[in-house]
Structure 1
Amino acid sequence: MMSGNSEEIFHRTGSFRRVIAPGNDTTSVSGIAVKSASKNNSYLNPNYVPFFLEYTLMSEFNILSKKTIPGVYVMPAAKTPFIWFGVIFPRCGLYKNGVFRFRIHIDSTWPDCDCPKVIIETPVFHPLVDPTSGEMNVRQHFPEWKKGVSRIWHVVDHVQKSFYDIPRTKNPVNLEAADLLKSDNENFMKKCQECVERSRTDVYKQPDHPESNDPHYILFEPYIEEMHGPSKRSWFLQKENENKNPPLSWVQPGSLEPFSRPNA
């Protein structure tokens, strides 16, 4: 028997998360849930609505996992499906070699809601990122969030691309960054490099906000030879062995005849 509000219901890690079916269609189940909640239909118990909502969000995460966006790692919170934790490692551009944490906040009215909110936790000098709150202006890219069409992976992909291709937007939230990008590119690049260096220094610090206490929050620790060395050497040895063993073939090099390669 379930009781209490929806937030209390979400404060658990149940087996329901382990039976999420793959697929791209997350609208039918959520449509039933929202319709039931809004029109008080009798064919679905209102107590099940939070679980249907969580189901659709975990389906969204399945879709994101299959996209494998380079240099980006995302994990839904353990305590609530409405917050996802992420880290981006830019591999080129002005923010190359930086480590930038971010959070995705999804409205509890999902999927009948606006675009999810993105908070960049690591201080970054960027025209789209508010220097005080850290919120990235992603709604400019998603002016209309369409149920069943707009996906959370689209938001993550946009965040990643914003670190590589910095837009000269007409509606910046960081005016200083926008002005420097337009008029003084050298100083803009200097500010970006400062952000990269700071991110690499602060990566081992746990941020001081309630969400960082979640069991799924992504944390880093310094390299310790005694702890990480054996795994590192094992990975290198495995790669070395793979390079030593050529792929199995029964065709003599330069020939098209099957089974023409002599036995070693």
Structure 2
Amino acid sequence: MIQSMGRDTKGDSSSSEGFTRQGSLRRVLPSGHNKENLFGKQNEDLNKFYKQFHQEYVILAEYKMVQSEQIGGVYVIPSQESSLVWFGVLFVRTGPYEDGIFRFNIHLDEAFPNSAHPKVIFHSEVFHPVIDPQSNEVNLHAGFPIWQKSEQHIWQVLKYLQWMFDNVEATASHAVNREACDLLVKEAEFKARCKQSVQLSREKLYERPPTDDKHYIVFEEYTPHIHDSVRATMLQPSAPVASAGHSWVKEGTFRPLTKEPSSSTDQES
């Protein structure tokens, strides 16, 4: 049974109580501002607040896009402590890593999205050509030579993780684990090493979390008298839920404050 260690209430409270939109943000910006210093050098605290505020919306939009893509077998959630760290789990369903349940973290740079690509680091050793055997970091440079915030998104990184486990031989050209790359021609030996990685991932599945973060994804062993009723509820077909309200993040983008105009005030802004 997979679950998060806690309910994410941070986004609910901060968006509904901590900030109320009053017209357009552009009305409070002084003339002659720029992206690096919107409120002038004399207002460093205000500049810092705005950058953090904007970054949170970018990351919120990225997470929304991940959800809309519905990437099978991959689960991620931003840390409660820092939205720059995401916890993830990848279930591999076919190929040499079949039945593997691999935990990983996604690390975003402090300047995200104006930075290099995110880093993906697995928690356990994974014998794979594009996973560094020392750091367990995925080599994303072949898939994302240049990270362009207008074109690359976190959901694409997750799709790449799926692809690299299903198409191992195609990753040989940008291998960072030379031993894994060389063993690709010895199918039996390579598959044996993959199975070792799978076994290790499953042995660590129920270990105590390495952090107190309430969004860390934890697993419980299946207990019939606890989980049978939950399983039955999950398997029941659910009625479609009508959407309500408006999002300040436009679908398919990470631009904040893109609510559709609903009044003369919004249209003027």
1:242 counterpart residue number: none
1:217 counterpart residue number: 216
Structure 2: tracts of 5 or more residues without a match: 1-8, 18-32, 238-269
Q: How far apart are residue 13 of structure 1 and its match?
A: 2.6
2:178 counterpart residue number: 175
1:102 counterpart residue number: 104
1:119·1:133 contact (CA, 8 Å) conserved in 2? yes
**Distance change in 2, residues 1:235/1:144 (3 Å):** closer
2:10 counterpart residue number: 13
Q: Counterpart amino acid of 1:230?
A: S
1:203 counterpart residue number: 205
Distance 2:14 2:34 in 1: 16
2:117·2:144 contact (CA, 8 Å) conserved in 1? yes
Which runs of structure 2 are paired with 1:1-264 in the superposition (5 Å)?
Answer: 13=10, 15-16=13-14, 34-36=35-37, 40=41, 45-46=46-47, 47-166=49-168, 167-181=170-184, 183-206=185-208, 208=210, 212-235=211-234, 238=236
Determine which structure has greater relative contact order: mean sequence separation of CA pairs < 8 Å that are 6+ residues apart, divided by chain length. 2
| SS at structure 2 position matched to 1:135 | coil
Task: Give the percent of matched residue pairs that are identical in Structure 1 and Structure 2.
Answer: 35
Q: How far apart are residue 226 of structure 1 and its match?
A: 2.3
User: How far does the alpha carbon of each residue in 1:65-97 deviate from its partner, in whole angstroms, 9 at most, with x for none?
Assistant: 100111111101111110111111111111111
Distance 1:38 1:128 in 2: 44
TM-score, normalised via structure 1 length:
0.72
TM-score, normalised via structure 2 length:
0.71
User: How far does the alpha carbon of each residue in 1:131-187 deviate from its partner, in whole angstroms, 9 at most, with x for none?
Assistant: 121101012211111121111111111111111111342332211111101x31110
**Distance change in 2, residues 1:33/1:70 (3 Å):** farther
Q: How far apart are residue 116 of structure 1 and its match?
A: 0.5
2:164·2:171 contact (CA, 8 Å) conserved in 1? no
| SS at structure 1 position matched to 2:217 | coil
1:172·1:178 contact (CA, 8 Å) conserved in 2? yes
Distance 1:40 1:148 in 2: 28
| SS at structure 1 position matched to 2:103 | strand
CA RMSD of aligned residues (A): 2.9
Q: How far apart are residue 38 of structure 1 and its match?
A: 10
Q: Counterpart amino acid of 1:36?
A: N
**Distance change in 2, residues 1:234/1:68 (3 Å):** closer
Counting matched residue pairs gives 213
**Distance change in 2, residues 1:180/1:37 (3 Å):** farther
